[in-house]
Amino acid sequence: MRSTSPSRRFALQGLGALALAPSSVWPAVGGLPSATHDAWSPEWQQLSERLFPGRQLVAGQGTVQLIAPLRAAYGASVPVKVVSKLPQRPELHVRKLYLVVDKNPSPLAAVLDLSTEVGQADFETRLRVDEYSHVRVVSELSNGELHTDARYVKTSGGCTAPPNRDALHLIGRTQVKVAGELRMNEPTAADVTVVHPNDTGFELNQVTVMYIPPHFVRSINVSFAQRKVFDAELDFSVSENPTLRFNFVPHGRGELRAEVTDSKDAHFVGTLAIG
Amino acid sequence: MTKWRALALLLGLCTSALAAMAGVPAPYAPTVTLPTGTPQRFEFDLTTALRRARREHKRLYVYLGADDCAYCRKYEAFLQRNAMELAPHFAKDYLVVDLRSSLSVQADRLYIRVGEKALPYADFQRSIGDERARLLVYPSVWLLDANAKPLMQMPAGTGTFETVPEQLEILRLEQ
């Protein structure tokens, strides 16, 4: 089982602190119309310099596209979809995907480290969005290029919404399933879902009036037939019961396996026999 | 009558007056819909409004408010303040339906009827593919076509469209 490196944890903490720093210079964005895909924000200016120092980011939807609603039903569960415009080939492929919510207390929601075994680097998940904010994806290609796309999402309270406490006894139950038709040697959609409150640390227990300590899924590593498909490092900006829809290329019989670690170092495993 | 009793009576009258003022302001020509089946259940019937929407080739702007809900008053006050600017945009495409509820009425007691079928809140939401099935929030708004099909996924509450440009975004179904 792989664990989060101390340096990455440090980086995440640093980014969280950065986002929490007071920003009195900029007016609230609330009320502005939907931003264009390459919209800038002061938070992103700082975040991008920390995450990708000295590197150029190409904005646009030619290589990667982020699909998210302008308004979602609930801020604690905003559906986002990443669509990659190039197939995963050894000569050029998506190496990493970064999901960022500019104004969240911890803006770096997920970092996905991909292999060519995903076939097609499309992902879907649900994120917490705490206030009116840009949601972004950065796609890092194997040649080092960085491409980015963003959507402006109008919602609030995503990190402080009362959590769903209906299934505490099921925490860690990890389900892997094929999402559509199983196609050999072609990208096939699959879902991994972990039953987990993904507590942010900003939610108030309505009975005790105490804050619920953070407790969230930190990583999901998915393999097929013992070959890495992707490793995801996650944060509490991912909604409760974290779900990732991804692709993998089944070359024959094998086990689709998801290994999960949470912030209390609990480990969970979900598997699905393919073929 | 003691002065405390008089004060209580006055407060009661004020509260009643405020409750009577609750709801979508008159410039929006709302069709006020009161619940039936109370107090066991609060059932709101959309059938007549949908029939009218079909006849007039309009959409429904269904507002669910509560008489004791501060956020409802906030949204209604916003509508009142901006009625001159907003009401014509509502009138162009929408029939406004004003469902009058109460904060004590939660998802298990709130029913929506369309034709022969009355469903509790969560089932109704699931039946129309609305993601807000999990939690009933006051106030709530649905944008429905004349067949009770949602025109777009609406957010819980009204906090993200309490400016004129944002309210217009909603009316234009911008997603």
Q: How confident is the model over B35-45, as pLDDT tens digits? A: 999 999 999 99
- Closest CB to A71 among B130, B155, B163: B155
Tokens 């008053």 belong to residue: B73
Give me the pLDDT at residue A198, please: 87
Question: Which residues in chain A (7-36) have CB-CB distances under 8 A to chain B?
Answer: 30-31, 33-34
Q: Give DSSP secondary structure letters for A158-204.
A: TTTSPPP-TTGGGTT-EEEEE-S---TTS-EEEEEEE----B-S-PB
A266 or A34, greater pLDDT: A266
Question: Looking at beta carbons, which residues of chain B come within 8 Å of A155?
Answer: 155, 160
| Six token digits for residue B16 | 């009643």
Question: What is the value of pTM for the model shown?
Answer: 0.82
Over residues A109-116, mean pLDDT: 97
Residue % of chain A over a pLDDT of 90: 64
Count of alpha carbons within 13 angstroms of residue B36, beta-carbon side: 6
pLDDT tens digits, residue range A208-221?
778 888 889 999 99
For chain A, say whether B134 makes contact (Cβ under 8 Å).
yes
Q: Largest alpha-carbon pair distance within chain A?
A: 58
Tokens 């801020």 belong to residue: A75
Lowest model confidence (mean pLDDT) among A157-166, A235-244, B58-67? A157-166
Burial label for A169, CB within 10 Å (0-12, 13-18, 19+), is: exposed
Give me the pLDDT at residue A162, please: 61
CB B162 within 8 A of CB A71: no
- Please give the Cα distance from A261 to A265 (Å, whole number): 6
Shortest CA distance from A35: residue in chain B: B175
Give me the pLDDT at residue A158, please: 65
| Alpha-carbon distances of B120 from B30, B36, B102, B108, rounded to whole Å | 23, 13, 16, 6
Over residues A114-126, mean pLDDT: 96
- Closest CB to B131 among A70, A73, A154: A73
Nearest Cα of chain B lies from the Cα of A104 at a distance, in angstroms, of 17
Over residues A167-192, mean pLDDT: 91
Residue % of chain B over a pLDDT of 70: 88
Residue B8: which pLDDT band, with cuts at 50, 70 and 90?
Answer: low
Q: Name the region of B10 (left: φ>0; alpha: ψ -120 to 50; beta: rest).
A: alpha
Give me the pLDDT at residue A203, please: 76
Question: At how many degrees (to 10) do helices B83-93 and B164-171 cross?
Answer: 0
Under DSSP, is residue A10 helix (H, G, I), strand (E, B) or coil? helix
For chain A, say whether B169 makes contact (Cβ under 8 Å).
yes
For chain B, say whether A40 makes contact (Cβ under 8 Å).
no
- Please give the Cα distance from A33 to B152 (Å, whole number): 17
Question: Looking at beta carbons, which residues of chain B come within 8 Å of A132?
Answer: 160
Q: Largest alpha-carbon pair distance within chain B?
A: 58
Question: Cβ–Cβ contacts within 10 Å for residue B118, how many?
Answer: 17
CB B106 within 8 A of CB B56: no
Report phi then psi at A126, rounded to 5: -125, 135
Give me the pLDDT at residue B10, please: 52
| Six token digits for residue B35 | 């619940």
pLDDT tens digits, residue range B101-142?
999 999 999 999 999 999 999 999 999 999 999 889 999 999
Report phi then psi at A136, rounded to 5: -130, 155
Under DSSP, is residue A101 helix (H, G, I), strand (E, B) or coil? strand
Whether residues B174 and A164 touch (CB distance < 8 A) is answered with no
Per DSSP, B168 falls in state: H
| Alpha-carbon distances of A52 from A122, A146, A240, B83, rounded to whole Å | 22, 9, 28, 48
Amino acid at residue number B33: T
Over residues B162-166, mean pLDDT: 95
Q: Which of A29, A34, A71 is best to mutate for the B interface (most B CBs within 10 A)?
A: A71
Q: Is residue A65 pLDDT above 80, yes or no?
A: yes
| Six token digits for residue A31 | 């009320």
Tokens 């309009």 belong to residue: B58
Give me the pLDDT at residue B21, please: 57
pLDDT tens digits, residue range B11-68?
554 444 444 558 999 999 999 999 999 999 999 999 999 999 999 999 999 999 999 9
Q: Is residue A49 pLDDT above 50, yes or no?
A: yes
Residue A163: which pLDDT band, with cuts at 50, 70 and 90?
Answer: low
